[in-house]
Structure 1
């Protein structure tokens, strides 16, 4: 059995995909940018494929670092993770797969005259899907193991509300008539209270969990909710079975039953529909209840034109 990763190792894994995409994109952009007028000769494709394959392996290892590699290896040694990955549709491929993918993508872009910068971005993104997924799983496990997710759920709303009140109080104090005008203007410029308040009132400052009851299972429910959202962002599917599998990781102290995960997924979808219904109603000048009812009836997040 491998040693359970530290919070720092989970955090390193959580940043790996972003590092990989940035570094690999910069490298590919430099290589492809050598061709004038974005025109890649067909005869150069095989050489580019070899460069990309070799560089992809190099940037994968450097993006993970020692801590990320150790964390990735631990995850992949866990039977629960193997079942989850299979449930969402990832599978092992032969090394030749990547060469064929690079060649197909490059040739397709050559035929369509795609700018080399766009080609570089596409190659970096297309080869990072698995890493992007496990990086986000690593981030979720970092929140779980450190208790950050728990503290955010319990203390977050009150803390943000306090920030808003303090900013409002600051704005009122700056407006006191005995403060010189030039000082007032300088302070208002340095601390844009209204902008900060608007930012804090915007959606998505903190993920608002659908289940915030502070009991012994709250950390596990928060983790499951984060994994459900991750799956929906990535696959447009909650993949409840995969989340249930991940709750079987050896570090999870109180695994959840499938019926609990089903309830969490329903709550997440209900919250998404309410959010989308409000956006649609506000944008089109429609009745919120009508939009929400329509979205529920169609079991969708898309409102007909």
Structure 2
């Protein structure tokens, strides 16, 4: 039986989406710009095929850098069932061809309409999203597994409120210290503009140092509940829906010591949904 990956191996897998993005921006973006600006029509005609080939190579190369954790994950029945529940499918082997053809056609059309005002950034974001969907998802799951294995989410949930109070107290002490009547008034004004302690305290009060967890009850299942919460947030980010059946499969992975019942997952989803609604009405400061 294949041994479970180490924390460092999962961290390598958690970074594949970022590495893919960097590779796409450094390798593919110049290719797109050159094809659009080339007077040779053949360069544009070859663009879909070149994109398909290059994005496939970059994806495979990026995943190869995290092969130990990826191979282990892809050998787990729970992972296969989670992918199915999340909507990933291998029924269409030509998905990359179709997406690259559609992207290239739209790219060329928009460039030709207003070449002088054409901006590549939004198009690169679209290409990264449609060709790196799996990498983004596997990175997100691996990141949640890193949080689980390192206990970082547990520490944040348990120690976060006290740490936030400590930082606020230190900010208040700093503000009082620089406001002594013997401080040069011109220097004081500049310090207040630079430090802005009141804004920092307001930020902590409104958003907290970490997002409010669904649970702080310190029992054996706390790590798993926080892992499930990370996955629910990932699903809202990627799919705009919690996909509870996929969450249920992922908390059944062999590295998870305390699986959850579906009703617990549903309570976590309710918390995340309520928190998202609450945050939607607040000013985003970070």
With the shorter chain as reference, the TM-score category is 0.7 to 0.9
- Report the counterpart of residue 23 of structure 1 in structure 2: 23
- Report the counterpart of residue 168 of structure 1 in structure 2: 172
Residue among 136, 143, 154 paired with 1:139: 143
Contact 1:88 1:239 in 2 (8 A): yes
Q: What does 1:178-193 correspond to in 2, within 5 Å?
A: 178-181=182-185, 184=188, 187-188=191-192, 191-193=195-197
Residue among 222, 226, 246 paired with 2:226: 222
The structure-2 alpha-carbon separation of the partners of 1:41 and 1:6, relative to structure 1 and needing over 3 Å to count, comes to: same
- Report the counterpart of residue 81 of structure 2 in structure 1: 83
CA distance in 1, matches of 2:40, 2:214: 54
Contact 1:7 1:145 in 2 (8 A): yes
CA distance in 2, matches of 1:178, 1:73: 65
- Report the counterpart of residue 211 of structure 2 in structure 1: 207
Q: Give the C-alpha shift of residue 182 in structure 1.
A: 5.8
Q: Give the C-alpha shift of residue 89 in structure 1.
A: 0.3
Q: Equivalent residue of 2:207, what SS? A: coil
Q: What does 1:25-104 correspond to in 2, within 5 Å?
A: 25-35=25-35, 43-64=42-63, 66=65, 68-92=66-90, 96-104=94-102
The structure-2 alpha-carbon separation of the partners of 1:42 and 1:201, relative to structure 1 and needing over 3 Å to count, comes to: farther
- Report the counterpart of residue 9 of structure 2 in structure 1: 9
TM-score (norm 2): 0.86
Q: Give the C-alpha shift of residue 253 in structure 1.
A: 0.5
Cα-to-partner distance string for 1:36-85 (whole Å, 9 max, x where unaligned): 6x57865334422333233223322443463x222122111111111000
Q: Give the C-alpha shift of residue 34 in structure 1.
A: 2.0
Structure 2 gaps of 5+ residues are 113-117
CA distance in 2, matches of 1:69, 1:177: 62
CA distance in 1, matches of 2:17, 2:11: 12
The worse-fitting range, judged by mean Cα deviation, of 225-234 and 146-155 is: 225-234
Contact 1:46 1:103 in 2 (8 A): no
Structure 1 gaps of 5+ residues are 281-305
The worse-fitting range, judged by mean Cα deviation, of 181-190 and 72-81 is: 181-190
Cα-to-partner distance string for 1:139-184 (whole Å, 9 max, x where unaligned): 1000000000100111012111211110111110111123344654
The worse-fitting range, judged by mean Cα deviation, of 21-30 and 176-185 is: 176-185
Higher RCO by CA contacts (8 Å cutoff, separation 6 or greater): 2
The structure-2 alpha-carbon separation of the partners of 1:102 and 1:169, relative to structure 1 and needing over 3 Å to count, comes to: same
Residue among 158, 162, 169 paired with 1:154: 158
CA RMSD of aligned residues (A): 2.6
Contact 2:160 2:209 in 1 (8 A): no
Q: Give the C-alpha shift of residue 128 in structure 1.
A: 1.0
Contact 2:35 2:44 in 1 (8 A): no
Q: Give the C-alpha shift of residue 93 in structure 1.
A: 5.6
CA distance in 2, matches of 1:29, 1:262: 42
The worse-fitting range, judged by mean Cα deviation, of 54-63 and 5-14 is: 54-63
Count residues in correspondence. Answer: 277
TM-score (norm 1): 0.81
Answering whether residue 230 of structure 2 is matched by residue 231 of structure 1, we say: no
